[in-house]
Amino acid sequence: MPLINYRHRGKWGLRPLGLLLGMMLPLHTAANPPPAIRQEIEAALAKEREQQGEIKRQVAQAEDRARQEINATEAGKQRLQQELQQLRAESAKLDAALQQRVQQLEQQIAEKQRQIETAEQRARLLEKYAIGHTIQDCDICPKLIVIARGEFDMGSPANEDGRDENEDDQAGAGGKPIKVRIDYALAVGQYEITRGEFARFARETKHNPEGGCYHWTGALELKPEYNWRNPGYEQGDNHPVTCVSWDDAQAYIQWLNGKSHQQYRLLSEAEWEYAARAGKGSRRFPWGDDPKYSELCAYANAADKTLQKKLGWSPVAPCSDQYVYTAPVGEAKPNPFGLHDLHGNVWEWVADCYKDSYQGTSNDGSPVEETGCSRRVVRGGSWGFVPRYLRSADRSGDSPDFRDDDGGFRLARMLP
């Protein structure tokens, strides 16, 4: 409330306007106060109204500021909510990206692990299947030699001594060898399948072929009493099995594959010649052309002086291998691939159907097949044949059910 000066009992003092009016009203009526008092009252009232207006203005300003702050707070809240939503969205994106990256890294790690395992497996295979390495898949499985890949001329040139006309790309004169490439991993039997190995098969499967076996007695004669157990001469279990047909060989392979869970097979004719040549080009034998057959008996069991002395056959090789009939497998020196008896000991069945030339023969080492094939290829010569039939290029063919006392087989299998 405004204060005002007044004089009372000779003294001036300050009193609230309302109190002063109460004191003065008895002396003057409210309707007609003295002019000075009126002016002072009006001035005081004006000042009070001014003060009240200032207060209201300040209150209004305060209210405006409050509203502004409230509005600002709401806007800030909305902004913060928007920023929070944006951050949450970005966080979700980051989580998704992180999850995707984690999955990618896990896939990369798995792929690297697979590559490492593959490389380790490959390294083990390379070590196990190194060129020249001997492998044996089971105790009844044949020993195999891993041979190198390569290319060679299959057949004989026109000037090769002792050649036949079926050793080139056309029957008759004027032909030439064909180029063949063995471009896959292959392991070849170190030895021919032995009598002991075949005996186990026959015992387990009750395989007892009938029909006898052919035997040479000055002429080729079928002997009903002869078979793989008794080919007409004495054998040990370490000798190559004889008196077995191409069909017998297939039965043995089926049995062995079932026992070993491997995929053994006969060699193709191209594989056989490649293994026989052993990387030594177009020479008649892997040890050389040997025109006088002076080295033959060190590497092969052929018709030689030992046989001539026993049976009186002629002509024969001018050397002696000490065996009239079959020799134990591995008795002769190996060829450069480490394989024994590809030349001599027994003729070896191969997979191919026999044709009079190599016309149409594939150059990739695969066998020649023909529906209703009546003759299968045999290779390598035997203990009863003169040296020209032991050449790497020599070839012949017999009926798949043909058995004779100097015919056997060896196996091979592909490698991973």
Query: Could you read off the pLDDT of 283-293 as tens digits, one per residue?
Result: 999 999 999 99
Q: Does residue 25 carry a pLDDT above 50?
A: no
- Number of helices (H), then strands (E), belonging to the chain: the values are 7, 15
Range 254-283 average pLDDT: 97
Is this structure's pTM higher than 0.85? Answer: no
Beta-bridge partners for 379:
348, 395
C-alpha closest to that of 198 among 240, 233, 235, 234: 240
Non-local CB neighbours of 410 within 8 Å, separated by 6+ positions:
142, 188, 189, 191, 192, 193, 267, 348
* Cis amide prior to 400 (ω within 30 degrees): no
**For every residue of 72-86, which 3-state class applies, written as one string?**
HHHHHHHHHHHHHHH
pLDDT at 91: 76
What are the domain boundaries of the chain?
A: 34-125, 134-414
How far apart are the C-alpha atoms of 293 and 289, rounded to whole Å?
Answer: 8
pLDDT at 62: 78
Residue 306: pLDDT band by 50, 70, 90 thresholds?
very high
**46-70 CB burial, b ≥16 within 10 A, e <16:** eeeeeeeeeeeeeeeeeeeeeeeee
Residue 347's φ and ψ, nearest 5 degrees, are -60, 145
C-alpha closest to that of 377 among 357, 400, 354: 354
pLDDT digits (tens, 9 = 90+) for 72-86: 777 877 887 887 788
Q: Which amino acid is at 232?
A: G
Tokens of 309: 């002395």
pLDDT digits (tens, 9 = 90+) for 142-168: 999 999 999 999 999 999 999 999 999
Residue 33: pLDDT band by 50, 70, 90 thresholds?
low
In Å, how far are 4, 171, 208, 253 from 19, measured between CA atoms?
10, 153, 150, 137
How far apart are the C-alpha atoms of 402 and 220, rounded to whole Å?
Answer: 12
Residue 382's φ and ψ, nearest 5 degrees, are -155, -175
How far apart are the C-alpha atoms of 245 and 19, rounded to whole Å?
Answer: 149
The pairing of strands 407-409 and 347-353 is: parallel
Residue 152, helix vs strand vs coil? strand
Range in 12-26, 247-261, 263-277, 352-366 the model is least confident about: 12-26
Whole-number mean pLDDT of the chain? Answer: 89
pLDDT at 32: 66
Q: Does residue 19 carry a pLDDT above 80?
A: no
Residue 25, helix vs strand vs coil? coil
Q: Is 224 exposed, middle or buried (0-12, 13-18, 19+ CB in 10 A)?
A: exposed
Q: Does residue 22 carry a pLDDT above 60?
A: no
Contacts 24+ apart (CB under 8 A), 93-101: none
Tokens of 177: 């060898």
**C-alpha radius of gyration, the chain, whole number:** 56
Range 374-391 average pLDDT: 98
Decide which of 3.40.50.2000, 1.10.230.10, 3.40.50.1970, 3.90.1580.10 is the CATH code for 134-414: 3.90.1580.10
Q: Output DSSP code: residue 191.
A: S
Q: Is 257 exposed, middle or buried (0-12, 13-18, 19+ CB in 10 A)?
A: middle
Residue 372: pLDDT band by 50, 70, 90 thresholds?
very high
Q: Does residue 247 carry a pLDDT above 60?
A: yes
Q: Does residue 326 carry a pLDDT above 80?
A: yes
pLDDT at 20: 45
In Å, how far are 300, 378, 396 from 381, measured between CA atoms?
10, 8, 9
